[in-house]
Amino acid sequence: MSQTRISIDVMGGDRDVETVLTGVTLALEHRPETEFLLFGDAKLIEPLLDKFPTLKAASKVHHCDVSIDMDMKPSQALRQGRKTSSMWQAIDAVNTGIADGVVSAGNTGALMAMSKVILKTLNGIERPAIAAIWPTMKGETIVLDMGATIGGSAEQYFQFAVMGDAYARIIFGLESPRISLLNIGVEEMKGTDSVKQASDLLTSSSLNFCGYVEGNGISQGDVDVVVTDGFTGNVALKTAEGIAQLISGYLKQVMVSSIFARIGYIFARGAFGALKERLDPDNVNGGTFLGLNGIVVKSHGGASPKGIAAAVELAIEVAANKMSEKIADEMDKMEEELLAIQE
Amino acid sequence: MSQTRISIDVMGGDRDVETVLTGVTLALEHRPETEFLLFGDAKLIEPLLDKFPTLKAASKVHHCDVSIDMDMKPSQALRQGRKTSSMWQAIDAVNTGIADGVVSAGNTGALMAMSKVILKTLNGIERPAIAAIWPTMKGETIVLDMGATIGGSAEQYFQFAVMGDAYARIIFGLESPRISLLNIGVEEMKGTDSVKQASDLLTSSSLNFCGYVEGNGISQGDVDVVVTDGFTGNVALKTAEGIAQLISGYLKQVMVSSIFARIGYIFARGAFGALKERLDPDNVNGGTFLGLNGIVVKSHGGASPKGIAAAVELAIEVAANKMSEKIADEMDKMEEELLAIQE
């Protein structure tokens, strides 16, 4: 496939249309072989597009009257935004095949609910998962699920591992990604029953299962995929964000605490810039929905243009690599393994 | 009570006996009205005590032949360390009343298992919890449970809230601590059923319940107590530790990345020292076991003398304030409220 077509829910998120268009334009610079379908209020989008001639040339605007609010409940979004909303139509473009993937910075719950209704889960997948990319001491690690499912059976954890494996092969280019389960201790006796059963299943499978990691293991970067349920994963992600903010707040305070610190800061400014860059969530923006018949990438609602570009480029990458098909293939193979293990 | 008596499991943890004794001596300097009962290998402790004349004068050594390894499973520890181990005897000193509280840097699972067997849970408490003290942007917040129980019913969350409330009153000196439940969204529809039911119970109670917080809310410091189950709490704590290590690693890298950064670092050294101090886990070391007939404080296994001192001082503080009795009283009152709500 030479050209990838990505649909964008331009109205989603906390940012204005111009920020979204700036981000998409940035992604287009890096991936010029891309076509965009922009779903949203044409009265807002079209005048702004004149500012982005490259994007204008590579995109088509699809007017939608309705947009989904960030604080709408999923059920409400499904009722009020069915067919008509920019979010629905952007996802539906993947379903009808006019787009290879969709990106939205909108309401996560609504995006997941609509994606499930429109795209359906892949054959054999009970529930989809949201996969995040975490910075680690050694690079990056995929963590899933980030909040699509609460709790989970051993089979669900197993499916998450299979999906995480396929995702890691694509975005990290690995032959045999190292898979682990998040737990509260490395001893066998700890953890919930379904985590323990999942560990047994994974040990017997052909996946490269490396056992349990604890919360601090995520950022150590010794594994490529960390599997957990959506409640725990979401708490871990948000806790990590909170601690990063806390430390950054402390850093600001100490850096103005004395004249020496101020002078030091001036000299070290470049280094601080580099630090900020490495910790910038925008650099790894993009929660990928795994397990659906189609590519859906969620950008952070408050992402900067650079963050939006990162999410769009991620969508291009996984769409160009036909991730959904690869997950479906791997799932088929693994279902057989699972049956053999369980017999 | 003029004098508080604390029993110490000298053999627990990853540190040597001297580190433990240095920490206990430091605590004694701050709280000179304390008496210590030191449980462990007398052949190791007694010669070292000559180096710590103040501690020697304020303590009594109880020889124990057995010590509990850090990697022993709780069931194994109970079998091999029953009656004979330093951990068992140090806890038992609280049960027999010769100590007002116990501190151990040993194996958390073993310490909890033995504490439950020896001290038993308070009347009305289904399961004990481990409470941690987190640094926040505005001070400190209590988070529980940190790993004593996995999963939990609405009633258990309610009990954790009551225990956290009593603990916050004592260590923060608050009249009406702000209580919250950890969840994955502030919308009512999110979260597990038991978290939602717990929210209903807490809303109807006389506790100062402030609703849900997400993971990033812990370090914002807008509430005094965050209630969650042991699996999620433990993952959150470990994830936070991992992120702090990651950022500190980044910081070290950028600070030597250029000559300007190096010069800057020299000027800002004092400020970095202050940053390190604020992030030092030793300053808030001490996981308090809540819901037992007696005070048990777990110190981090790898704590420095300052960290051990912090844990010992915490034990003195809660023992001197008769925390177990206060929790029992509040629990009695709350049980009545709970019955009234549930009718």
- Domain residue limits, chain B: 1-123+292-321, 126-290
CB-based contacts of A43, cutoff 8 Å, min separation 6: none
- Please spell the DSSP secondary structure of A286-309, one letter per residue: -EEEESBSSEEEEPPTT--HHHHH
- Is the pLDDT at B207 greater than 50, yes or no? yes
**Measured distance CA(A54)–CA(A36) in Å, rounded:** 11
Any CB–CB contact under 8 A between B186 and chain A?
Answer: no
Tokens matching residue B187: 């919308």
Instruction: Report the pLDDT value the prediction gives residue A96, as an integer from 0 to 100.
Output: 97
- The arithmetic mean of pLDDT across residues B287-316, rounded, is 93
CB contact under 8 A, A219 and B245: yes
Across A11-20, B160-169, B293-302, least confident range: A11-20
Distance from CA of B227 to the nearest CA of A (A): 13
- Please report the residues numbered 235 through 264 in chain B whose beta carbons come closer than 8 angstroms to any beta carbon of chain A: 235-247, 249-251, 254-255, 257-258, 260-261, 263-264
Any CB–CB contact under 8 A between B217 and chain A?
Answer: yes
Across A105-119, B173-187, B313-327, least confident range: B173-187
Backbone CA torsion sign across A302, A306, A311, A315: positive
Instruction: Report the pLDDT value the prediction gives residue A223, as an integer from 0 to 100.
Output: 97
CB contact under 8 A, B269 and A271: no
Phi-psi label, residue B294: left if phi above 0, alpha if psi -120 to 50, beta otherwise:
left
Q: Are B48 and B24 in contact (CB under 8 A)?
A: no
- Is the pLDDT at B88 greater than 90, yes or no? yes
Alpha-carbon distance values, A189 to A197, A199, A208, A235 (Å) = 11, 12, 22, 23
Q: H or E segment at A190?
A: none
What mean pLDDT value characterizes chain B?
Answer: 90
- Note the helical H segments in chain B: 17-30, 42-49, 53-58, 74-81, 86-96, 108-119, 154-172, 193-204, 215-220, 230-255, 259-267, 269-279, 305-320, 323-342
Closest residue in B to A272 (Cα–Cα): B254
Distance of CA B172 to the CA centre of its chain: 14
Q: H or E segment at A131?
A: strand A129-136
Instruction: Report the pLDDT value the prediction gives residue B258, as an integer from 0 to 100.
Output: 79
**Measured distance CA(B223)–CA(B102) in Å, rounded:** 28
Distance from CA of A12 to the nearest CA of B (A): 18
Q: Do domains B1-123+292-321 and B126-290 have the same CATH topology?
A: yes
CB contact under 8 A, A261 and B267: yes
Any CB–CB contact under 8 A between A70 and chain B?
Answer: no
Any CB–CB contact under 8 A between B13 and chain A?
Answer: no
ipTM here: 0.87
Best mutation target, B79, B226, B231, B239, to test chain A (most A CBs within 10 A): B239
Q: Are A228 and A182 in contact (CB under 8 A)?
A: yes
CB-based contacts of B115, cutoff 8 Å, min separation 6: B91, B128, B289, B292, B294, B296
User: Which among B190, B238, B250 has CB closest to A214?
Assistant: B238
Any CB–CB contact under 8 A between A57 and chain B?
Answer: no
Instruction: Report the pLDDT value the prediction gives residue B2, as an integer from 0 to 100.
Output: 65
Closest residue in B to A72 (Cα–Cα): B187
- Please report the residues numbered 121 through 180 in chain B whose beta carbons come closer than 8 angstroms to any beta carbon of chain A: 135-137, 147, 150-151
pLDDT in tens, chain A (343 residues): 469 999 999 998 778 999 999 999 999 999 999 999 999 999 999 999 999 999 999 999 999 999 999 888 899 999 999 999 999 999 999 999 999 999 999 999 899 999 999 999 998 898 999 999 988 888 899 999 998 888 789 999 999 999 999 999 999 999 999 999 999 874 545 678 899 999 999 999 999 999 999 999 999 999 999 999 999 999 999 998 888 888 888 777 777 777 877 887 777 777 667 767 766 666 667 899 999 999 999 998 888 999 999 999 999 999 999 999 999 999 888 888 888 887 7
Chain B residues with CB-CB distance to A246 below 8 A: 135-137, 219
**Measured distance CA(B317)–CA(B140) in Å, rounded:** 16
Q: Confirm or reject CATH 3.40.718.10 for domain B126-290, answering yes or no.
A: yes
- The arithmetic mean of pLDDT across residues B261-283, rounded, is 71
Q: Please report the number of interchain residue pairs, chain A to chain B, with beta-carbon separation below 8 angstroms.
A: 216
- The arithmetic mean of pLDDT across residues B47-60, rounded, is 96
Considering the domain delimited by A1-121+291-321, tell me its CATH architecture: 3-Layer(aba) Sandwich (3.40)
Q: Are B236 and A218 in contact (CB under 8 A)?
A: no
Closest residue in B to A258 (Cα–Cα): B271
Instruction: Report the pLDDT value the prediction gives residue A190, as an integer from 0 to 100.
Output: 64
User: Which among B109, B231, B260 has CB closest to A270?
Assistant: B260
Instruction: Report the pLDDT value the prediction gives residue B278, as an integer from 0 to 100.
Output: 67
Q: Are B219 and B137 in contact (CB under 8 A)?
A: yes
CA atoms within 13 A on the CB side of A301: 13
Across A256-270, B140-154, B170-184, B200-214, least confident range: A256-270
- The arithmetic mean of pLDDT across residues B243-249, rounded, is 83
- Span B1-123+292-321: which CATH code? 3.40.718.10
Instruction: Report the pLDDT value the prediction gives residue B284, as an integer from 0 to 100.
Output: 67
Closest residue in A to B139 (Cα–Cα): A246
- The arithmetic mean of pLDDT across residues B219-242, rounded, is 93
Instruction: Report the pLDDT value the prediction gives residue B188, as an integer from 0 to 100.
Output: 44
pLDDT band at B242 (very low <50, low <70, confident <90, very high): confident
Three-state secondary-structure class, residue A52? coil
